[in-house]
Amino acid sequence: MLKKIITLAASAVVVTALSACGGGGDGGADAAGSGDGGGELTMGFAQVGAESGWRSANTKSIQESAKAAGVELKFSDAQQKQENQIKAIRSYIQQKVDVIAFSPVVETGWDTVLLEAKRAQIPVILTDRAVDSDDDSLYETFIGSDFVKEGEKAGEWLVGEAGSDPTKVVEIQGTTGAAPAIDRKAGFEDAIKGSSNIEVVASQTGDFTRSGGKQVMEAFLKSNPDIDVVYAHNDDMGLGAIEAIEAAGKVPGQDIKIITVDAVKDGMTALSEGKINFIVECNPLLGDQLMDAAEKVVAGDELPKRIETEETTFDQEQATAALPDRQY
Ligand code: GZL
């Protein structure tokens, strides 16, 4: 299924941190949603849930940036259920907010509710995860990481690490149908496809949660006695896998190497301790970019369809050095 990531011909705009929005504007251009004439912009945000350390950091960033920018934020937690996100978006439409933003828990099934927002003339901004839609007029821009690149970085590290050694990999996927799960899997497979010595012997969803990662890893250990590497689509599932590996009497990071994505504090701590071997960063601090984009959209400015966040990778030494200053 071709997912339509709308990228301007010119290039995706790689933006590190747009300036935090100013306070509630000069009171001149009244934001329709506030009604108090104070120029404060009202945003409805439909969050995925609170499933991981990354999500908690993402929520904190959005809430803090809204406060700093003088944006009135209406916030909902969908507990990882699409129907709850759709309900929240419909509620924001009824409340006539100035702008709607959300992180789609899965890629498909959004066109109907986004068309309702479009008919209500409320602009929509996607953050973190993309939607798979043929109609790119349904949203103003998508602010987030390139998950395929994240998967490629994970695979490229393993290709370098494995050399020509026969290497059996088990993959703990993110939420079924979610853009990061689909793309991190695709990127990883693409990076290892030239290395016939590397084989993914099992792949299953752990739903981005620590408990999910532990349960899946317990099952993998029972059915695959000779696992060399775990590739987990986020730190939380990798940390759950560590619990299962230790309970099986093996040493994580040595008997079984672990690669994860996110680089939240708990993951970086495990990496600095040698229990994880490599982490690909996925930046959750999207709040400032979102508020800046919202103010521009409400002011009628044109935005690039794709705003890609910058991020890096960490080995054990780099994690140890970065931990003291880590914001999340
Ligand atoms: C990625 C984000 C993913 C994180 C997980 O941008 O959507 O969801 O990698 C989180 O930790 O649950």
Distance 33 CA to ligand 1 centre (A): 30
| 147-282: in CATH 1.10.15.40 | no
The residues with which 141 forms a beta bridge, in sequence order, are: 125
Given a cut of 70, whether residue 308 has pLDDT beyond it is yes
Helix, strand and coil in the chain, % to nearest 5? 40, 20, 40
2-144+284-310 matches 147-282 in fold:
yes
**pLDDT tens digits, 104-140:** 999 999 999 999 999 999 999 999 999 999 999 999 9
Q: Cα Rg for the chain, rounded, in angstroms?
A: 21
DSSP string spanning 74-126?
Answer: EEEE-TT-HHHHHHHHHHHHHTT-SEEEE--SSSSS-HHHHHHHHHTT--EEE
- Judged against a pLDDT cut of 50, whether residue 11 lies above it is answered with no
Global pTM value? 0.88
How far is it, in rounded angstroms, from Cα 174 to Cα 324? 28
Q: Contact at 8 Å (CB) between 195 and 162?
A: yes
- Would you state the structure tokens that stand for residue 263, as one six-digit string? 């680089």
- C-alpha of residue 263 to centroid of ligand 1, in Å: 11
Index of the ligand 1 atom closest to the CA of residue 262? 9
Identify the weakest region by mean pLDDT among 1-10, 60-69, 203-212, 270-279: 1-10
Binned at pLDDT 50, 70 and 90, residue 152 comes out as very high
169/202 Cα distance (integer angstroms): 7
Question: Distance between CA atoms of 167 and 18, rounded to whole angstroms?
Answer: 42
Domain assignments of the chain as residue spans, ordered by start: 2-144+284-310, 147-282
What pLDDT was estimated at residue 3? 53
Give the separation between CA 63 and CA 40, rounded to whole angstroms: 15
144 CA from centroid of ligand 1 (Å): 11
Pocket probe for ligand 1: among 153, 183, 282, 289, the residue whose CB has the most ligand atoms within 8 Å is 282
Q: What's the CATH code, domain 2-144+284-310?
A: 3.40.50.2300
* Residue ranges around ligand 1 (CB below 6 Å): 51-52, 54-55, 128-129, 144-145, 180, 208, 234, 236, 261-262, 282
Decide: helix, strand or coil at residue 151: helix
Task: Please give the distance, rounded to the nearest whole angstrom, from the Cα atom of residue 207 to the centre of ligand 1.
Answer: 10
In ligand 1, which atom is closest to the CA atom of 53?
Answer: 11
In angstroms, what is the span from residue 234 Cα to ligand 1's centroid?
A: 7
